[in-house]
């Protein structure tokens, strides 16, 4: 029966929240046969019932609109009266019932025989107008009759190109002008409302009111409130609507619009007979309320009067009903506020919105609200659905209704005081949180200022030592069974500034790739050490292990670079925290605003740690301290092997002599012109001979420097990191055959080691330093001394031949078999030895 159906309309509207996949329609307190609907394929977002053809429209999330005929089949097969429950009829949801399959649909409304939908596009909202199916007709779209796009400021697509799930759904309502010709039921039955003609004409124009056209109001999640006059929504494939002509933006609420409605404020009640709403209301999610009424300016011309108010948010849902009352639900309370009362402060648009004080009704967590139409006189009925799925009817006695200043009885005074007190509590809480936020922000600014100052002094390209410096020394230690090379960093702050929280010392250790696998990227390890407050004049010591790594090999040279890093996240995080905590937890403020590496990075120094840093000199150590890390005589398997080779008859000998017997030491020499070296060393060698000074210069970063300097040594016997002995000798020699004008004074640096690898490493390190020195000195030294070119040419040509031989030998190494391999390797070693003598000469 249509009467019962009509009364179910309101219940269905009340349920039209995002409740679930099953929809139950229940009678309004009467024992009405309630049809139960089958499961929908997805969450139900919206329900509308068009009364005249008797069809139920259901919007399913990401599926589209289903159209069902809610006439319960009276076969009685599904009746279940044994449990005493209401008899239910099942309406099946056929996939064919899908009227508009469109995943982008977000909301819709039914206006007379038209279906208005709002779909989300990648860069706009699209309002589409369809003809409704007639009852009895097959549920199929009868063709689109209108379309217009609403542009928005920010794109709606997410990073993956798929439309992001809307956090807030838009709101679509239909407004009709009140008039004698307008049928009330026609408008209300489809979720629309009437508006007094003067306001209607003012808002939507003369054309709309002349045509008495319904107007579609859209409240978008970005805060826009816009309207489209339905009768102007032209369409055909050849002429879609021009958004500029069709869409009018009424206001921008600056927060997601959750509700649009109309109330009767009665303030302009010259004509008492007009009972139509005269005030358009829009509610934002965070509690902003917009009211639009028709007002007169000083000349008497009708103008729309816009006012903004604030309600405590967040607003989950709202409903208008009975006079100027607006019911709205927050997470904690269902409130009512009466906009018709004179007590509503009148502020102009542009003034800060004044706060409305709603009265609580003592119901919480209501997600959908509907005002009941058919209730006994003197009361007001609300139908509410809670988040947990509880359907409630609330009856409010009009006499005891709150917020009536004329009825300020003693009973309500107590309530009022309570409300005021709780209001004060809220305000003070808010104040303290705001104060905290300001403090944190100030602190962050101070930190940033200091960071800025530090950056300035470090980056100003001044000569000389930097006010904040980092020095590095290396040492061997043996924390466990293995020898470990450790580096000690001294961070010294000689500036007047203070390095506070947020600064970290970043040390990057870059292992040079070994020659064998040059494709492999060199491995870098980064250590970050927080600098927890380094005041002016303070020093901080940091010790880090450099190697050997997991493979037990120390890959030299290592590049160690130090930098100071200031993390902006640290500072910003402190300032951001309070605002985040004030929002509810579901409001995820994306934590990845700052990328991981964002901050200020200031390079301090860079060193190359080579073999010369790591040589150990057991012979130089003071007698009482055994140099740590010297391998025991039986550690090296080669020595053990060689020892066994000698046989048990021979007297035991040291490893050095063993090696000397079997592996003749390799030797490499480099000659540097004394003049060059003297210039480079400058005043460092004053007081000592040149050879001693050169050795000290080479071992400048070594821990044994002090001993070498104290004893004025010009030759040292050391141990390389891999345990091989290294002999480093520096002596002055005169080269007679080269100089064109007499003998050339040179300093010879001789590296001698039984292990070719250590020899190469040390040789490479020495050459590396000399190279740097030569490059530095090249500008200062007037020019090379006269040399005998013929001699040089001779050396050069012999080296050419040798290099060619090396090439052929290496090629042969790849192809040859085991038998001849040994001979070739021997020959290669020999050639290399020949290549090294005569030695490299730097002048």
Q: What is the smallest separation between the CB atom of 315 and another protein, expressed in angstroms? A: 25
Query: Minimum distance from CB of 162 to another protein (Å)?
Result: 8
Q: How far is it, in rounded angstroms, from Cα 18 to Cα 549?
A: 59
Report the nearest approach of another protein to the CB of residue 75 (Å): 27
C-alpha to C-alpha distance for 696 and 686, rounded to whole angstroms:
12
Q: Residue 371 in contact with residue 321, Cβ under 8 Å? A: yes
Dihedral of the alpha carbons of 51, 52, 54, 60, in degrees to the nearest 10:
-60
Give the contact letters, 180-199, x = binds to another protein (CB under 8 A), - = no. -x----x---------xxx-
3-state secondary structure 585-652: CCCCCCCCCCCCCCEEEEEEEEEEECHHHHCECCCCCCCCCCCCCCCCCCCCHHHHHHHHHHCCCCCC
Q: In angstroms, rounded to a whole number, what is the distance separating the alpha carbons of residues 530 and 166?
A: 42
Backbone angles phi, psi at 777, to 5 degrees: -85, -15
Nearer Cβ to another protein (205/548)? 205
* Of 515, 543, 513, 550, residue with least CA distance to 529: 543
Task: Give the nearer residue to another protein in terms of CB position, either 201 or 312.
Answer: 201
Out of 22, 76, 123, 429, which residue is the one contacting another protein (CB under 8 A)? 123
Is the CB of 67 or the CB of 472 nearer to another protein?
Answer: 67
Q: Which residues, 461 to 500, sit near another protein by CB under 8 A?
A: none
Helix 789-815 to helix 818-836 angle (10° resolution) is 160
CA 4 to chain centre: 55
Considering Cα of 814, then 815, then 816, then 818, what sign does the dihedral take?
positive
808 interacts with another protein by CB under 8 A: no
Q: What are the E-state strand segments in 166-316?
A: 171-177, 193-195, 215-219, 224-229, 247-252, 257-263, 279-284, 288-296, 302-310
Q: Is 231 an interacting residue with respect to another protein (CB under 8 A)?
A: yes
Token pair recorded at residue 755: 């292990």
Determine if 252 is a binding residue for another protein (CB under 8 A).
no
515 touching another protein, by CB under 8 A = no
Residue 303 in contact with another protein, rule: CB under 8 A? yes
- Shortest approach of another protein to residue 507 CB, angstroms? 28
- Residue window 689-728: x/- pattern of binding to another protein, with contact defined by CB under 8 A: ----------------------------------------
Closer to another protein by Cβ: residue 206 or 589: 206
- In the shown chain, the binding pattern of residues 328 to 357 toward another protein, with x for contact by CB under 8 A and - for none, equals ---------------------x--------
Instruction: Give the residue from 492, 464, 448 showing the smallest Cα distance to 456.
Output: 448
Regarding 26 and contact with another protein (CB under 8 A), the answer is: no
- 471 closest CA partner among 733, 725, 701: 701
Out of 18, 245, 427, 757, the only residue in the binding site for another protein (CB under 8 A) is 245
Tell me whether residue 41 or residue 467 sits nearer to another protein (CB atom). 41
E-assigned strands of 92-221? Answer: 98-101, 105-111, 114-120, 124-131, 144-151, 171-177, 193-195, 215-219
Closest CA to 614 of 553, 536, 524, 567: 553
For residue 320, report the phi and psi dihedrals to the nearest 5 degrees: -110, 145
Query: What minimum distance in Å lies between the beta carbon of 6 and another protein?
Result: 19
Pick between residue 140 and residue 799 the one whose CB is nearest to another protein. 140
> CA torsion sign, 132 to 137 to 140 to 141?
negative
Q: Is 269 in the site for another protein (CB under 8 A)?
A: no
Q: Helix or strand or coil: residue 262?
A: strand
Binding another protein (rule: CB under 8 A), the pick from 91, 202, 730, 759 is 202
* Position among 78, 212, 333, 606 found at the interface with another protein (CB under 8 A): 212
Residue 314 to residue 584: CA distance in whole angstroms: 10
The yes or no reply on residue 590 touching another protein (CB under 8 A) is no
Q: Which of 43, 188, 232, 473 binds another protein (CB under 8 A)?
A: 232
Helix, strand counts (H, E) of the chain: 15, 39
* Contact predicate 449/436, CB 8 Å: no
Q: Residue 345 CB, nearest distance to another protein (Å)? A: 20
Q: Are 360 and 333 in contact (CB under 8 A)?
A: yes
Interaction between residue 238 and another protein (CB under 8 A): yes
> What is the distance between the alpha carbons of residues 209 and 201, in angstroms, rounded to a whole number?
5
Stretch that binds another protein, among 202-210, 392-400, 665-673, 823-831 (CB under 8 A): 202-210
Length of the chain: 843
Q: Give how far the C-alpha of residue 782 lies from the chain's centroid of Cα atoms, to the nearest Å.
A: 58
Check binding of 519 to another protein (CB under 8 A): no
CB atoms within 10 A of CB 197: 18
Interacting span for another protein (CB under 8 A) from 94-102, 217-225, 434-442, 614-622? 94-102
CB of 181 to another protein, least distance (A): 7
| CA–CA separation, 62 and 44 (whole Å) | 10
In the bound state with another protein, the residue whose beta carbon lies nearer, of 112 and 676, is: 112
Q: Pick from 207, 254, 587, 800: which binds another protein (CB under 8 A)?
A: 207
**List 49, 169, 233, 751, residue binding another protein (CB under 8 A):** 233
Q: Does 686 bind another protein (CB under 8 A)?
A: no
Of 26, 127, 203, 318, the residue at the interface with another protein (CB under 8 A) is 203
Nearest approach in angstroms of CB 295 to another protein is 11
Please report whether residue 304 would count as binding another protein according to CB under 8 A: yes
| Closer residue to another protein (CB): 41 or 574 | 41
d(CA 245, CA 148): 10
Looking at 53, 240, 756, 838, which residue binds another protein (CB under 8 A)?
240
Q: Work out whether the CA dihedral 771, 775, 776, 777 comes out positive or negative.
A: positive
Residues 398-417 interacting with another protein (rule: CB under 8 A): none
Residue 644 as a binder of another protein (CB under 8 A): the answer is no
Q: Which of 363, 365, 356, 313 is nearest to 338 (CA)?
A: 356
Q: Which span (216-224, 299-307, 613-621, 622-630) binds another protein, by CB under 8 A? A: 299-307
Question: Which residue of 31, 75, 154, 237 would you call a contact of another protein, by CB under 8 A?
Answer: 237
- # of chain residues touching another protein (CB under 8 A): 58
Q: Which of 209, 330, 368, 561 binds another protein (CB under 8 A)?
A: 209
Q: Which of 113, 606, 805, 816 is in the footprint of another protein by CB under 8 A?
A: 113
3-class SS at 509? strand
Contact 7, 374 (CB under 8 A): yes
> How near is the Cβ of 690 to another protein at its closest, in Å?
45
Q: Which is nearer to another protein, 245 or 409 (CB)?
A: 245
Query: Which of 1, 3, 84, 95: binder of another protein (CB under 8 A)?
Result: 95
Q: Specify the DSSP class assigned to residue 166.
A: P
Is position 257 an interface residue for another protein (rule: CB under 8 A)?
Answer: no
Nearer to another protein, 306 or 681 (CB): 306
Window of 140-148, 419-427, 429-437, 532-540 that interacts with another protein by CB under 8 A: 140-148
Within residues 141-170, the interface with another protein by CB under 8 A covers 141-145, 155, 157, 161-162
Is 239 near another protein (CB under 8 A)?
yes
Residues forming the site for another protein (CB under 8 A): 95-96, 98, 101, 103, 112-113, 121-123, 140-145, 155, 157, 161-162, 181, 186, 196-198, 200-203, 205-207, 209-212, 231-234, 236-240, 242, 245-246, 248, 298-304, 306, 349
């Amino acid at each position: 029966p249509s009467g019962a159906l009509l009364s179910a309309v309101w219940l269905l509207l009340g349920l039209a929240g995002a409740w679930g996949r099953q929809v139950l329609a229940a009678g309004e307190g009467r024992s009405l046969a309630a049809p139960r609907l089958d499961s929908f394929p997805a969450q139900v977002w919206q329900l509308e019932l068009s009364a005249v053809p008797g069809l139920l429209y259901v919007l399913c999330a990401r599926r589209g609109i289903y159209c069902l005929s809610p006439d319960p089949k009276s076969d009685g097969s599904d009746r279940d009266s044994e449990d005493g429950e209401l008899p239910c009829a099942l309406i099946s949801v056929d996939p064919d019932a899908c009227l508009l399959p469109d995943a982008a649909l977000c909301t819709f409304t039914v206006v007379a025989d038209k279906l208005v939908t709002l779909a989300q596009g990648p860069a706009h909202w699209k309002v589409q107008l369809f003809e409704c199916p007639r009852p009895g007709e097959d549920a199929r779209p009868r063709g689109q009759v209108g379309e217009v796009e609403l542009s928005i400021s920010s794109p709606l697509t997410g990073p993956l190109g798929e439309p992001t799930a809307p956090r807030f759904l838009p709101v679509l309502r239909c407004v009709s002008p009140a008039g004698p010709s307008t049928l009330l039921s026609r408008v209300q039955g489809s979720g629309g409302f009437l508006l007094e003609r003067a306001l209607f004409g003012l808002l939507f124009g003369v054309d709309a009111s002349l045509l008495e056209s319904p107007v579609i109001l859209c409240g978008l999640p970005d805060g826009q409130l816009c309207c489209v006059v339905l009768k102007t929504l032209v369409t055909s494939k050849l002429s879609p609507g021009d958004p500029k002509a069709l869409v009018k933006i009424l206001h921008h609420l600056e927060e997601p619009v959750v509700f649009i409605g109309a109330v009767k404020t009665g303030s302009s009640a010259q004509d008492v007979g007009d009972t139509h709403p005269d005030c358009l209301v829009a509610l934002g999610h965070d509690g902003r309320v917009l009211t639009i009424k028709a007002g007169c300016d000083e000349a008497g011309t009708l103008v729309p009067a816009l006012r903004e108010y604030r309600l405590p948010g967040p607003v989950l849902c709202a409903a208008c009903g009975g006079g100027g009352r607006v019911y709205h639900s927050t997470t904690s309370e269902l409130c009512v506020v009466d906009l018709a009362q004179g007590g509503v402060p009148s502020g102009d648009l542009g003034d800060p919105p004044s706060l409305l004080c709603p009265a609580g009704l003592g119901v919480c967590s209501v997600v959908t609200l509907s005002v009941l139409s058919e209730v006994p006189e003197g009361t007001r009925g609300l139908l509410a659905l809670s988040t947990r799925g509880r359907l409630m009817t609330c009856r409010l006695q009009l006499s005891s209704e709150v917020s009536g200043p004329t009825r300020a009885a003693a009973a309500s005074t107590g309530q009022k005081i309570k409300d005021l007190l709780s209001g004060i509590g809220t305000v003070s809480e808010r104040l303290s949180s705001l104060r905290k936020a300001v403090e944190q922000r100030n602190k962050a600014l101070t930190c940033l200022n200091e960071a800025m100052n530090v950056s300035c002094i470090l980056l100003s390209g001044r000569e000389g030592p930097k006010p904040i410096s980092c020095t590095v020394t290396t040492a061997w230690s043996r924390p466990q069974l293995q020898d470990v090379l450790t580096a000690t960093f001294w961070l010294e702050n000689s500036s007047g500034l203070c390095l506070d929280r947020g600064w970290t010392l970043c040390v990057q250790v870059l292992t040079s790739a070994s020659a064998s696998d040059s494709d492999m990227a060199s491995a870098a390890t980064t250590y970050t050490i927080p600098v927890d407050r380094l005041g002016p004049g303070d020093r901080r010591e940091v010790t880090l292990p450099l190697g050997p790594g997991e493979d037990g090999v120390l890959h030299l040279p290592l590049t160690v670079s130090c930098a100071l890093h200031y993390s902006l996240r640290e500072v910003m995080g402190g300032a951001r925290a309070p605002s985040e905590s004030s929002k509810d937890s579901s409001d995820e403020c994306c934590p990845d605003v700052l990328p991981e590496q964002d901050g200020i990075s200031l390079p301090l120094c860079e060193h190359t740690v080579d073999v010369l840093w790591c040589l150990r000199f057991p012979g130089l150590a003071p007698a009482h301290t055994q140099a740590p890390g010297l391998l025991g005589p039986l550690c090296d398997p080669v020595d053990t092997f060689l020892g066994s080779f000698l046989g048990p008859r021979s007297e035991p000998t040291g490893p050095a002599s063993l090696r000397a017997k079997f592996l003749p030491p390799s030797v490499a020499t480099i000659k540097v012109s004394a003049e060059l070296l003297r210039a480079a060393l400058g005043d460092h060698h004053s007081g000592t001979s040149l050879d001693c000074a050169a050795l000290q210069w080479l071992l400048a970063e070594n821990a044994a420097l002090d001993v070498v300097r104290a004893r004025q040594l010009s030759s040292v016997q050391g141990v390389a990191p891999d345990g091989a002995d290294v002999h480093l000798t520096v002596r002055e020699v005169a080269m007679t055959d080269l100089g064109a004008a007499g003998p050339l004074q040179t300093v010879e640096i001789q590296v001698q080691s039984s292990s070719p690898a250590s020899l190469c490493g040390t040789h490479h390190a020495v050459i590396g330093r000399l190279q740097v020195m030569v490059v530095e000195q090249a500008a200062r030294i007037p020019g090379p001394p006269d040399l005998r070119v013929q001699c040089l040419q001779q050396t050069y040509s012999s080296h050419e031949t040798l290099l060619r031989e090396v090439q052929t030998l290496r090629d042969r190494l790849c192809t040859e078999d085991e038998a001849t391999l040994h001979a070739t390797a021997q020959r290669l070693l020999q050639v290399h030895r020949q290549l090294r003598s005569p030695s490299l000469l730097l002048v």
